[in-house]
Structure 1
Amino acid sequence: MIKLVNLIIIVTFLTDQWLFALSYVPLSKKIVTNDKIKKDDSKVKDPLILYNRVTINSLSALSLMQSEFELDLFLFQRWKVNETICEQYKSLHRSIVGESDLVLQDGSETITDVSVLSQLWLPQTYMVEVKSSLNTRTANNEGFLTIYNQTNGCSIKFTRRLFSKVGCKMDFREYPNDIQNCSLTLTSYFWSDNVLKFVWDSPDLELDLQNIDQNHYEITFTTETHRSLAFDGKNRTWLTIRLIFRRKITHFIYQAVIPSILIVSSAYFSFFISVENGPNRFLFTATPFFALITLYSGVKGQLPPVSYVNASDIWMLGTLIFDFSTICIMSCCCYLTKLDQIKKMSAKKSTTTEAENDSQQSPPWHHKKPLTKKPTLLKHFSFIVFTVKDESLFSPADHLDNLMKLLFPLLFLTFNCVYWILVLSRRLLS
């Protein structure tokens, strides 16, 4: 029994060696085989030309949070085949459906049956930016195929309606004067340019916009063509529909710019309130600051969270700094007023002491007469200032307020001019 098992093992080993020897191919023969393959590739026929045309029906609003938009379009693709393939298409259709009812007067035939279309060759079109396809709102989502008779064969036209969510890479650095460059790229899903070549038909793009909800943008459509390597390392022709969304800046002006200017202006009027009216002046400085913060939060809530600063951030931060400066000036005025009061109290005490000493040492007719106040009108500030001989009744806090009455609007006007020149030219953060 043991000898029989050993004999079976030996026979199996010899059989495996014999099969390996048969499957072995010398390296020289492999090189010849590769050369033959190269020669066969050089004899490949010209690729099939696929003409593409797109008709855009509707375009939904550009979603900033999801970075996408919904696009409803018709995709028309046509190519030419010889008479043999043309008759095969027709015979297959008639064998399954019977005599077609969709035969036009010129002899063209339309195929709408899904079971027939599944057995025919159709271009597998790959759309790069499409995130998901939605219901096309038609009875036949697979499209339909029309065969047109010609002298040297026939022309086949495949029509589909596509309703898809298209992703878009957005950049908000220049918001609110930003431009979003979105695209929809078509190419062959499987075949390279050596077999199937995508080209634009004439016309390449048609617009039949029945429903366009783009209140904040102006849209421009262009088409492009370029050739590059695909994911499988093969060259493909990429057909691109470029959708350029230019934002209308008027919405941001009404929503943020005008309210923020009014809020900053209300804070500016706090310089016309005396420091002695502390509670009223505090309301004119602190309340606009919190109103700007609320307004800023509302504007930022309309944009997706990003890690960079955009143009709207610079505007809101600039207005916050101007408003916060009024709070700082109010604090400085209060501090200067307190120091001035302390100085006046100390000077009054020293004057009282000196007067008592003089009254004891000098006769009554040597007493100084009280100083009289002379009213003068300062045209620059439009209010009455009293002077006592060479001394001004203005306190240091009043001088600081008067300075800010002139300096604050000049600085805010300069900030507006520089900001809007850079924003409108899109050079603020470029």
Structure 2
Amino acid sequence: MDNIALIESFGDFKDEKGISKIDLMAIIEDALKTLLRKRFDSDDHFDVIVNPDKGDFQIFLNKTIVEDEMSEDDDLEIEISEAKKIDPTFEVGEDFTMEIPVAQLGRRNILTLKQILATKLQEHNNAMLYEQFRDRIGEIVIGEIHHIRHKHVILLDDEENEFILPKENQIPSDFFKKGESIRAIVESVDFKGSKPQIIISRTAPKFLEKLLELEIPEIQDGTIILKKVVRIPGEKAKIAVDAYDDRIDPVGACVGVKGSRIHGVVRELRNENIDVIQWAKNPELLVKRALGNVIINKIDINEETNYALVYTPVEEISKVIGKQGQNIRLASWLSGFEIDVYREASEDDDVELKEFDDDIEAWVLEEFRKVGLTTAKSVLDKDTSTLLNMVDLEEETIEDVKRILKEEFEE
């Protein structure tokens, strides 16, 4: 096999993988030097010249001219008499360069060269694939379901690149069919052995962020800014948006008429409920907006510890906390504050003392009534020492009464 035939044998591979002529020639040069190192232990005395225009290459061996009968290594030295047969002007000590025909390497070495070339080409493709998708981390890719396995799903894109979607990166309600096309973001690219492994995700907040950019032109062109995105995949998400122009309603622009703009994103995320709020620099206002449409009486903010205590009526507690604590968790993530809720009881929550006649003896209740303490809270609001001075009861009896009253409000 001559030089050109050897190169042309990889032509189909080059065309299929899209390797440039220059890259292919560099790979051939590297492969030839690898073979020379295997054959001669070193490639230091060889020059490899690859001509990408002709699709040809040459191997040259550089020898040192020595006196006759003084050569210690025929691979690296040539006697003066042999050198002068080529050029009578040669002198001892000069360099002598000779071309090594590929055929002289032997059939076995040529086969080895083909194997080395195949390996080098694969290494090149793997490196190119790694660089390509490392630069696309955080971007959306589309792949077709190729294999469905217990712990992950394997997808292929239009160029037959393989993506891995682990179980933990799938939305809980995801259900895939072979041949189905889905979207996800590139989460990471790492080498597993010699091959790059591209991990994708549908649960990352970045996936929601990129979907919003695709669906809402104002986010894509920068008119509306996505300040923060948090989510519990498949359940609920909150996004905070803002606008450079005060005349623009960023929330309305994102949601659209009757939710038209955000419906596509919700469907992609398997009906994940998405709350859109307007960002606020004021921490108290940000926490209030992050909690959503709930009644809040007061918020105490500690910016040093990033802590917020929210005071809300009893009937609003369930809405503030949300299903399985989702609302308050997402609000904490979105605002950056650890949020606690304090239940503010209204006067309507108080209970008349006479309602406790099954648990407290009538004469004891009468002692409290005589001094104007007719409700549970009127008793609980006073400490025991004060009550001892007001009613003719033992301390132990007063403590028992307070315990019974407290239990009513703890239920």
Query: TM-score interval w.r.t. the shorter chain?
Result: under 0.3
**Which structure would you say has the larger RCO, counting Cα contacts within 8 Å and 6 or more residues apart?**
1
The two structures have a TM-score, normalised by structure 1, of 0.21
The two structures have a TM-score, normalised by structure 2, of 0.21
Greater radius of gyration (CA): 1
